[in-house]
Amino acid sequence: MIRARSASKQGQQLLQSWFASDAVLLAPKLLGKIVRRGSCSGVIVETEAYTTDPASHAYRITPRSVPMRDTYGCWYVYFTYGMHYCANVTTNKCGIGAVLIRAVEPIKGMALMKRRRGVAETHNLTNGPAKFCQAFGVGKKENTRPVAGTFAIYDAPDVPSEAIGVSGRIGIRNGTELPWRFYIKDSPFVSKK
């Protein structure tokens, strides 16, 4: 239902200026928006906000985390666990922050996504940050690129606040607080962990 509503009302590409706000404010607003790369597109159903907390790469000033500090409205793609990529959109209220795309609901290009992922089940294509990157063919070459472009996010109606779940700052990971996490409650594509 989320997919059908959003897909039918896909708007213009979100410009860089749209992201010149706080990551915690933008993370829920990104829910329901359309992410598209090539022939693949999907509705964002889960996001996670990273700011200056110790769990964030931006907590320390390193070459890798520079995009999170110096840019907004750009992709921040990093490699982790020796085999996975994760895609963030940088934000810039206070100069630091990013929103991690944790899960999307596929709209178009499912055959290509299944081929890239090597799975047959649609529900298992993009229900995780690394799965999303693999399905959409996102890699390090997308890092620091503007969000408006070939790999872009398109405007769509905001998801009603009552349909959004929040699970931020409720636990401890490695002695640090968890970041804010937002998801569309009725989406089967929201990651389990």
Please report, as ranges, the residues that interact with DNA according to CB under 7 A: 48, 50, 55-58, 60, 62-65, 68, 76, 78-84, 86, 88, 98, 100, 117, 119, 124, 128-132, 174, 191, 193
Instruction: Give one DSSP letter per residue of the chain, joined into a string.
Output: -HHHHHHHT--SBPPGGGG-S-HHHHHHHHTT-EEEETTEEEEEEEEEEESSSTTSGGGS--TTTHHHHH-SSBEEEEEETTTEEEEEEE--GGG--EEEEEEEEEEE-HHHHHHHHT---GGGSSSSHHHHHHHHT--GGGTT-BSSSSEEEE--PPPPGGGEEE--SSSEETTEE--EEEEETT-TTS---
What minimum distance in Å lies between the beta carbon of 162 and DNA? 26
What minimum distance in Å lies between the beta carbon of 57 and DNA? 3
Q: What amino acid is encoded at 160 in this protein?
A: P
Nearer Cβ to DNA (70/157): 70
Nearer Cβ to DNA (8/60): 60
Nearer Cβ to DNA (9/141): 141
What minimum distance in Å lies between the beta carbon of 190 and DNA? 11
Nearer Cβ to DNA (8/81): 81
What minimum distance in Å lies between the beta carbon of 150 and DNA? 22
What minimum distance in Å lies between the beta carbon of 176 and DNA? 9
Q: What is the dihedral of CA 66, 85, 80, 69, to 10 degrees?
A: 10
Nearer Cβ to DNA (48/142): 48
